[in-house]
């Protein structure tokens, strides 16, 4: 056996080749042991939980990061052999290649761990009533992956021999120029963050703003898509929405109805009092009207009418149902006025012409 180990194969002895081979085998055996433990022990623990995050994290650590074990074994074996020949100068290339492969494997693992973290945040957001966390999870996930990818790019560039300091300085100057050119884009980006944090509205809410009205369909990074009553879609820059006065109609608990009922001046005081009482009773007995927030008052003597102010709130806030309730109430008030022998007043003006001195007419209203 000793004679066999002393035999040479190229520049190495069989003993040196066996040591390198053992290092490579150790790396692959360590990978098999890790997979065995993960599948037979850790997988049982993750199967007991309802979350998918631990399954994704385990898969990332075993399949992605675990690949470093055989790669490390091959690297140690080759480096051992190369180190026995100092005249070989490509040992630096071997080190650089190992760092490059390790960086890529670690980056791949980090991406999957970010996915696992995003799953945890998504599951937590599903247990809350707020919608802002649901909208922030994709942004956090993308931002974390961009950060990891940027860091990996810098490390790879450094391993390939590029000047990272010069690259970062160039990126800084280029980033400044890009920021100046993309000023509006950055303003819209910060506007979207303000919308998500301040929560003036959510996806599905009906809103009214200076540029129109509609239902929010999507809150993007640059703009918000709103479906108008005409079924068209408008894209509003988030910068404008963040600085605008936005009325969220979906947040109203009741929808108000207010109008003035003008009755002709022939109505008597008793009829007006009876009319006010009947309208109050009509609103109070209607189940689709909020009885606690109604108001009916004989308020003004108009130029050609007696004015009754009517204000009430419908229980529903949906526009089609709200309009149906308004129509029902309006028709009931019209029948009430007809039954009482009253008439609705129209804007009129009486002009009397009187012949004065010199035959010139005099007008009066």
What is the phi/psi pair of residue 93, to 5°?
-65, -35
C-beta separation of 345 from 304 below 8 A: yes
Chain region(s) in the chain for CATH 3.30.70.100: 255-339
Q: Using CB atoms within 10 A of its CB, is residue 241 exposed (0-12), middle (13-18) or buried (19+)?
A: buried
CB atoms within 10 A of CB 102: 18
- Residue 173: its pLDDT value, please? 58
C-beta separation of 294 from 280 below 8 A: yes
- Residue 177: its pLDDT value, please? 55
Q: Which phi-psi region, left, alpha or beta, contains residue 57 (left: φ > 0; alpha: ψ -120 to 50)?
A: alpha
Quote the percentage of the chain above a pLDDT of 90: 21
pLDDT in tens, 307-325: 999 999 999 888 889 999 9
Residue 361 has pLDDT above 60, yes or no: no
- Residue 142: its pLDDT value, please? 80
Binned at pLDDT 50, 70 and 90, residue 365 comes out as very low
Q: What residues contact 324, with CB distance under 8 A and at least 6 apart?
A: none
The CA-based angle 211-320-230, given to 5 degrees, is 35
Tell me which CATH code domain 193-251 carries.
2.30.30.60
Enumerate the H helices of 244-360 as residue ranges: 269-285, 319-339
Binned at pLDDT 50, 70 and 90, residue 284 comes out as very high
What is the phi/psi pair of residue 25, to 5°?
-65, -40
> H or E stretch including 234?
strand 233-237
Distance (Å, rounded) from C-alpha 241 to C-alpha 225? 11
The two three-digit tokens of residue 261, written as one number: 């009922």
The two three-digit tokens of residue 155, written as one number: 């490390």
Higher-pLDDT residue of 251, 163: 251
- Residue 123: its pLDDT value, please? 72
Choose which CATH entry (3.30.470.20, 3.30.70.100, 3.20.20.30, 3.40.1010.10) describes domain 255-339: 3.30.70.100
The two three-digit tokens of residue 208, written as one number: 């009214």
**Beta strand 306-314 pairing with 247-248:** unpaired
- Residue owning tokens 């850790």: 42
Q: What residues contact 9, with CB distance under 8 A and at least 6 apart?
A: 17
Chain region(s) in the chain for CATH 2.30.30.60: 193-251
Distance (Å, rounded) from C-alpha 131 to C-alpha 251? 14
Range of weakest confidence among 27-36, 112-121, 185-194, 239-248: 185-194
Higher-pLDDT residue of 327, 229: 327
pTM above 0.85, yes or no: no
Residue 362 has pLDDT above 60, yes or no: no
pLDDT in tens, 165-213: 665 665 655 555 555 555 666 677 677 777 777 778 888 888 888 878 8
**Beta strand 352-355 pairing with 295-301:** unpaired
């Amino acid at each position: 056996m000793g004679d066999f180990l002393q035999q040479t194969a190229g520049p190495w002895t069989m003993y040196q080749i066996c040591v390198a081979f053992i290092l490579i085998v150790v790396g692959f055996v360590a990978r098999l042991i890790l997979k065995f433990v993960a599948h037979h022990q850790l997988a049982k623990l993750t199967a007991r939980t309802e979350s998918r995050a631990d399954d994704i994290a385990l898969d990332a650590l075993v399949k992605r990061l675990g690949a470093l074990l055989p790669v490390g074994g091959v690297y140690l074996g080759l480096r051992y052999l190369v180190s026995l020949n100092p005249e070989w100068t490509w040992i630096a290339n071997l080190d650089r290649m190992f760092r490059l492969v390790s960086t890529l494997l670690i980056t791949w693992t980090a991406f999957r761990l970010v996915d696992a973290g995003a799953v945890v945040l998504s599951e937590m957001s599903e247990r809350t009533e707020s919608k802002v966390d649901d909208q922030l999870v994709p942004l956090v996930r993308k931002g974390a992956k961009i950060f990891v990818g940027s860091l990996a790019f810098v490390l790879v560039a450094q391993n390939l021999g590029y000047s990272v300091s010069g690259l970062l300085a160039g990126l800084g100057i280029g980033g400044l120029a890009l920021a100046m050119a993309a000023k509006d884009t950055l303003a819209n980006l910060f506007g979207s963050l303000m919308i998500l944090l301040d929560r003036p509205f959510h996806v599905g809410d009906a809103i009214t703003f200076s540029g129109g009205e509609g239902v929010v369909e999507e809150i993007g990074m640059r703009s918000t898509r709103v479906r108008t009553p005409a079924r068209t879609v408008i894209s509003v820059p988030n910068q404008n929405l963040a600085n605008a006065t936005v009325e969220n109609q979906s947040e109203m608990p009741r929808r108000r109805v207010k109008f003035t009922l003008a009755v002709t001046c022939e109505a008597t005081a008793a009829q007006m009092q009876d009319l006010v009482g009947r309208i109050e009773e009509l609103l109070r007995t209607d189940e689709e009207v909020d009885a606690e927030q109604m108001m009916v008052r004989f308020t003004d003597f108009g130029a050609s009418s007696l004015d009754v102010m009517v204000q009430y709130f419908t229980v529903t806030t949906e526009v089609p149902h709200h309009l149906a309730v308004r129509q029902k109430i309006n028709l009931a008030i019209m029948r009430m006025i007809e039954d009482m022998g009253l008439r609705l007043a129209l804007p009129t003006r009486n002009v009397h012409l009187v012949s004065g001195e010199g035959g010139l007419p005099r007008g009066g209203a």
